[in-house]
Amino acid sequence: MGDWMIGDDRRRRSTDQLRNLKKANDGQVRWDTEAPADFTFLYHPDHLLVGAEDVDDLEAAFARLDKGVLSEPPRRDDVRILGGDLVRYVLPERPGGESVPDVVALLEQSGLRPGAASPDHWVHVSPGGGGGGTTCPAVEPQETGLTEPWPPVAPQEKGCEVSVVVVDTGWNPPSGTDGRTPWLEGVTGDDEDNGPELRPYAGHGTFIAGVVRCMAPMTQVHVEGFALGGVGGGGILESEIVQQLEEAMKHEPQVINLSAGCRTHLDRPSIAFRKFHRRHLEDADCVLVAAAGNDSWAAPFWPAAFPWAVGVGSLDRDGRVSEFSNFGVSADVYTLGRNIVNAFPDGTFVCHETPDKGDVRVFSTGLARWSGTSFAAPIVAGLIARQISVSGSTAKEARDAVMALAVHDSDPMIGPHLELHPSFE
């Protein structure tokens, strides 16, 4: 499709992101609409997910399909996901050209319980769609003249150490020993292997770790990386992100920050995230905080939309809900998410997305300015961690205490909602 046919900048940006994501993943990305700018969810072209309890029913439904739908029996993947609770099938060639969502529909027509099987969705730190919706991050990173983070490092002299894991693109080790970013001293993580030419989404996890540390200085932060060396272009399959979350649980976190997510087929709850919660979070002293997404819509964005997650939307400096922020079931609370300043790798960054595509940005101060619900989420994660630290409470008690500080407001576009306005001193 020629760029001239795509439309306005928002639609062009969504198209740019999809092209980049598909290229970074060897073409293994599909969407649910003809025009890429209109997509609502992304998925692997051959994967099907099912809970272990529904495997027998799925196998029976496969057997009931018309012989011409699948060229051969589907192959059950050998990878054990979540201890076998989540099963991934690889579909063979479909002579009629049916997509994975088409196959799901045929399986349900043959008697499979609706929602038992699902495409393997792409989770991304930059999910987009909805007719060119603004994405997360809402903009590519920008240079800043500031020499201190914003929000600043909160004063905290007493408290116990709290474990926070940021599941994200990876960690930039030089930021942990850089005199310009002393608040990151002691942070650990998977090296995202940055060079002088920065890849798309480089520094995303480091920036978020910095926001958490500014809000809660007495935290032990670890960055669990899923896009090391730029692999995946900032995207990861639903079936794989839960394996990264499972790795994160080995650090015994009290708070997990996930500034990523996805829309799903028919907006059904993500099977993979649901399984992860039941296996690891339901009985754990741990809270998951997730970005609500930046598509300016109310449709569920997973995992933020789950009742067990704290979904965070974005506010502007003037207290208004950011125009890019998702709302509704995915945003339990809103806090500052525009023009956040924190740690970022030094290097040269070439913008990949409309309207700034081709612009060259040089980062040389150890900091950047960034906007999106990606950066509102760690403010809330940090507030919860600090509450645990100063009170000695459980993670869920701390979550409830922080949410109790939220104030009611109303927006002409999204209606009544809750906002957190921590004092940045």
For the cut 90, the answer to whether the pLDDT of residue 371 exceeds it is: yes
Q: Label residue 317 exposed, middle or buried (CB < 10 Å: 0-12, 13-18, 19+).
A: exposed
What digits encode the pLDDT tens for the residues 253-281?
Answer: 999 999 999 999 999 999 999 999 999 99
For the cut 50, the answer to whether the pLDDT of residue 375 exceeds it is: yes
pLDDT for 131:
39
What digits encode the pLDDT tens for the residues 85-138?
Answer: 999 999 999 999 999 999 999 999 999 999 999 999 999 985 444 433 344 577
What digits encode the pLDDT tens for the residues 323-362?
Answer: 999 999 999 999 999 999 999 999 999 998 888 999 999 9
Percent of the chain with pLDDT over 90: 85
Q: Label residue 66 exposed, middle or buried (CB < 10 Å: 0-12, 13-18, 19+).
A: exposed
d(CA 201, CA 233): 7
pLDDT for 43:
98
Q: Radius of gyration over alpha carbons of the chain, in Å?
A: 21
For the cut 90, the answer to whether the pLDDT of residue 16 exceeds it is: no
The token pair at 179 is 């005199």
Active-site choice (44, 124, 204, 280) = 204
pLDDT for 6:
52
pLDDT for 133:
39
d(CA 299, CA 264): 10
Q: List domains and CATH numbers for the chain.
A: 3-122 (no CATH), 162-419 (3.40.50.200)
**SS3 state of residue 402:** helix
Tell me the whole-structure pTM to 2 decimals: 0.95
Active-site choice (46, 120, 168, 346) = 168
d(CA 182, CA 185): 6
Residue 126 bears catalytic tag = no
What digits encode the pLDDT tens for the residues 141-190?
Answer: 999 999 999 999 999 989 999 999 999 999 999 999 999 999 999 999 99
Q: What are the φ/ψ torsions at residue 356 (nearest 5 degrees)?
A: -105, 10
User: Using 50, 70 and 90 to split pLDDT, how confident is the model at 35?
Assistant: confident
Residue 168 bears catalytic tag = yes
d(CA 98, CA 242): 27
Active-site choice (121, 374, 389, 417) = 374
CB-based contact 150:340 (threshold 8 Å) = yes
Q: Which residues 6+ apart lie within 8 Å of 79 measured at CB? A: 88
Residue 204 bears catalytic tag = yes
